[in-house]
Amino acid sequence: MEASVLPPTTNNSKQLKLLEDLFKDYGVRSTTIIKVMEMGFTVSTLVNMTEQEIDDVIKTMIEGHQMGLLVGEKYGLKSAIRAERKRQEEEMERQRMQLLGAKNSKNHKSDDSGMVATSAEGTREQRGESGMILPDAAAPKGPLNLNSKEHPQQEHSHAHFGPPGLLALPEPSSDNEGRKLARKKQKRRLSREPGEDGDDRTREHPFIVTEPGEVARGKKNGLDYLFDLYEQCARFLDEVQQMSRERGEKCPTKVTNQVFRHAKLKGASYINKPKMRHYVHCYALHCLDKEKSNFLRKQFKERGENVGAWRQACYYPLVEMARDNGWDIEGVFVRNEKLRIWYVPTKLRQLCHLEKSKDSDTCSYETCG
């Protein structure tokens, strides 16, 4: 009969260590990692698989091998593989940019030597008997750019003349501008630390509208995964409070920067302040009126709307709740066990204040009438 655990060879130990490093801090148990290795998968194999193939692997583990995977493990397996794939792609892009930058640097040096020779000859032709560049006209308006890092002879080589006696501004070299842009992009890419969501701040967060219980397909996560992140934040807050009590320090009562830093130290770099604050009102609707929240999810999924439109629609039911509670949106959050640890979003406060003002104006108008 075939053994349930592979013999402890050197190669198996190495593959097991690589798999453990891959799934570290993603909530995947050791028995699950061993089963992945027993099925013949390596890190390289998993990273190069499609999302559908990974789903098939998870389905095989559950149905074929009768493994009771936790909900978090299913997400953890996919998240770890997705993060490793992204890390490898960024590393390849960084190396490509370095090679491109080195090549451009060599070409730039050869171009500079040619520019100096050409500009020197051109300057001698433009200079009159008086030895000035502008012999027939007054000095150009505006101060000379003394902060320019370009060599003066390079500027002359690109100068062109308009009406007689007027020296026009030099046209920027498209090649030089392209090289500068490439260097700036490379610096920004190298300045980003792995695990930080710096690039997430400039683009839409990777979520799609899904119905309750639906597993998202492709590279984007569903809304059940999003709401689970808030549950994880609550657990991280409990850990921070426990550590603060042990140290005799003041315990935070809400999810603050301290909690986000603690989550990052625990390996949950996918949890960050901008993302969680961006969708906290959506989670609030999920906690306060799950039926209404599920209805919106189903409605926007059927329409094919993106997550941004769904996010905007989640504000208005909360405004109605605030109206029913005397516009005390803070109290609505505090009275809910899961929401009291979150700050009320500024935009939600503003919308409540705006609707309250409209109601007051309407009442005043009716009274006067």
pLDDT per residue as tens digits for the range 85-126: 888 888 888 888 888 877 666 665 655 555 555 555 455 444
pLDDT band at residue 197 under the 50/70/90 scheme: very low
End of a domain among 67, 86, 105?
Answer: 86
Number of domains the chain contains = 2
Q: What are phi and psi of 342, to 5 degrees?
A: -115, 145
pLDDT band at residue 187 under the 50/70/90 scheme: low
Q: Which two tokens stand for residue 137?
A: 């006209």
Q: Is residue 153 part of a domain?
A: no
Q: Which domain holds residue 64?
A: 10-86
Q: Which two tokens stand for residue 33?
A: 């990692």
Model pTM score:
0.47
Q: Using N-to-C axis directions, what is the helix angle for 71-126 and 174-191, rounded to 10°?
A: 150
- Rounded to whole angstroms, the Cα distance separating 322 from 312 reads 17
Task: Tell me the longest C-alpha to C-alpha distance in the chain.
Answer: 102
First to last CA, the chain: 91
pLDDT band at residue 312 under the 50/70/90 scheme: very high
Q: Is residue 111 part of a domain?
A: no
For the domain that residue 288 is a member of, what is the CATH number? Answer: 1.10.4180.10
Q: Which two tokens stand for residue 291?
A: 């039926």
Q: Is residue 240 part of a domain?
A: yes
End of a domain among 86, 103, 121?
Answer: 86
Q: Is residue 290 part of a domain?
A: yes
The 10s digit of each residue's pLDDT in 33-78 is 898 888 888 888 888 888 888 888 888 888 888 888 888 888 889 8
Give the per-residue pLDDT at 186. 64
Beta bridge partners of 161: 167
Q: Is residue 322 part of a domain?
A: yes
Q: Is residue 245 part of a domain?
A: yes
